[in-house]
């Protein structure tokens, strides 16, 4: 079964750093792009960026360029999303998803990030 399993919920303070993960299984992790999507409380889906784990080629949405860093460790089939200095406005659910042909499927279960002083 193809699966993406994300790391658990995080509670952080403004200014702290954070790295969340997305581990793929059941398929060739290096052969498919992995995307990250933000969903702020009560709001819609926003595409953040995408990485090809095979060579770490990474593309960012202009809205998120410079705000986050996307990376991958193909030796452990894991993609990452990280912040160097969190803000309260980073409070959201974050999803990873595999890019398969013309869509994203499957999706991880989501990681809730709460940033509060």
Partner 1 sequence: DIQLTQSPSFLSASVGDRVTITCRASQGISSYLAWYQQKPGKAPKLLIYAASTLQSGVPSRFSGSGSGTEFTLTISSLQPEDFATYYCQQLNSYPFGGGTKVEIK
Judged by CB under 8 A, does residue 45 bind partner 1?
A: yes
Distance of alpha carbon 15 from the chain centroid: 19
Could you tell me which of 93, 69, 73, 71 has the C-alpha nearest to residue 17? 69
The pair of three-digit structure tokens given for residue 24, joined into one six-digit string = 């793929």
Site residues for partner 1, 10-39, by CB under 8 A, read 35, 37
Residue whose CB is less far from partner 1, 17 or 104: 104
Q: How far apart are CA 38 and CA 117, in angstroms?
A: 21
Looking at residue 108, the DSSP 8-state letter turns out to be: -
Q: Does 62 bind partner 1 (CB under 8 A)?
A: yes
67 binds partner 1 (CB under 8 A): no
Q: Which two tokens stand for residue 97?
A: 């998803």
- 54 binding partner 1? (CB under 8 A): no
Stretch touching partner 1 by CB under 8 A, among 10-18, 73-81, 82-90, 93-101: 93-101
Q: Report how far residue 4's alpha carbon sits from residue 26's, in angstroms, rounded to the nearest whole number.
A: 9
Nearer to partner 1, 62 or 66 (CB): 62
The contact set with partner 1 (CB under 8 A) reads: 35, 37, 44-47, 50, 61-62, 95, 97, 101-110
């Amino acid at each position: 079964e193809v699966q993406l399993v994300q790391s658990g919920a995080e509670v952080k303070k403004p200014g702290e750093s954070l790295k969340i993960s997305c581990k793929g299984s059941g398929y060739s992790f290096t052969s498919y792009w992995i995307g990250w999507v933000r969903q702020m409380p009560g709001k819609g889906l926003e595409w953040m960026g995408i990485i090809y784990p095979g060579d770490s080629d990474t593309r960012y949405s202009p809205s998120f360029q410079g705000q986050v860093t996307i990376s991958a460790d193909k030796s452990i089939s894991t993609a990452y999303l990280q912040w160097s200095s969190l803000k309260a406005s980073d409070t959201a659910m974050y999803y990873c998803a595999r890019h398969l042909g013309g869509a994203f499927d499957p999706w991880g279960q989501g990681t809730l990030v709460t940033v509060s002083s």
